[in-house]
Amino acid sequence: MPTISQFFGIVIRMYYDDHRPPHFHAYYGEHEAVFSIETLAMLEGHLPRRARALVLEWAVEHRQALLENWYLAERHQPLRKIEPLE
């Protein structure tokens, strides 16, 4: 599963051949959550409040790049790195 971004101890990844709806996985320590790209709703898992807020802030800024990576993953093409939250 390629890592597409990392910031403040949070790792963002996407799977190839993953199920719909378009989504990404966020990891923070022992915590993991899955977020919809379209709605930014947390679909499953759990992140501490601060980590969740940082992931959402980052995702709002990079929603188009996330969708582009989702479509690349569907076609088994290399994913692009996305700028971290600063």
Give residue-wise pLDDT tens across range 7-27: 999 999 999 988 889 999 999
- Count of structural domains within the chain: 1
In a domain, 86, yes or no: no
Provide the pLDDT for residue 19: 85
The domain of 31 spans: 3-74
Provide the pLDDT for residue 18: 85
Provide the pLDDT for residue 69: 97
Q: Give every residue of the chain whose pLDDT is below 70, as ranges.
A: none
**Burial environment of residue 50 by CB neighbours within 10 A (0 to 12, 13 to 18, 19 or more):** exposed
In a domain, 80, yes or no: no
In a domain, 79, yes or no: no
Provide the pLDDT for residue 3: 96
Single pTM value for the model: 0.94
